[in-house]
Amino acid sequence: MTRGGGFTLIELLVAVAIFAVVSVIAYGGLTTVMDTRERVDTETARLASVQTAFTVMARDFRSATPLRGYRDRRGDPQVPLHADDETLMLVHGGRPNPLGRRRSHFERIAYAVRDGALVRERHTMVDSPYEPQVARTVLLDGVTEVRFRFLLDDWRATWPPPASADTEVPVLPRAVAIRLRHPDYGVLRRVFLLP
């Protein structure tokens, strides 16, 4: 009996079985790669939100002005940067005015934790205590605590520091340190130099 040039049934079954095993291994590897990519993309987005929050704060602190204070809700004058260890209020310049409207280029910015998020509040009218146009932006979700410290000759918990008769206190500190507590990242610290 002469054998033909084709494959036997057993050879075909072995080839199909090998192909099936290779396909299962390849599919498992592809699934693992896709899951890993999804986790990396999620973590990258979360880290980008932290970096964006610090970038916005750095921009605000760089443009802080010692020239213009603000009035609080009672109408009392305040220094350009006023803060305790959990809330910070500052006046900064550089507000864009592309249409050339008659308005100040100063604005008042506040940072605080509200409802589990680091929030930036932008008051376009520096002295208005009943401002209807407060723009609130969530900079970073999941923040459970924020603490500010202010550098003069040493680090202080509030600004402005108490004035004494023999020393003159500058309007702005040399630097502001922020410490955030986040459930995923632990404690995040950043120091911003002021002009």
- The string of pLDDT tens digits covering residues 157-168 is 888 887 755 566
More confident residue, 182 or 106: 182
Grade residue 120 by pLDDT with cuts at 50, 70 and 90: very high
Sequence ranges of the domains in the chain: 58-193
Region of residue 160 (phi > 0: left; psi between -120 and 50: alpha; otherwise: beta): beta
CATH fold group of domain 58-193: Pili subunits (3.10.610)
| 99/22 Cα distance (integer angstroms) | 65
Three-state DSSP at 63 gives coil
pTM confidence score? 0.74
Q: What is the pLDDT of residue 51?
A: 92
- The string of pLDDT tens digits covering residues 18-65 is 989 999 999 888 888 888 888 888 888 888 888 999 999 999 999 888
Q: Provide φ and ψ at 186, rounded to 5°.
A: 75, -140
Q: What is the pLDDT of residue 1?
A: 54
Three-state DSSP at 151 gives strand
Mean pLDDT of the chain: 84
Three-state DSSP at 91 gives strand
| 110/106 Cα distance (integer angstroms) | 13
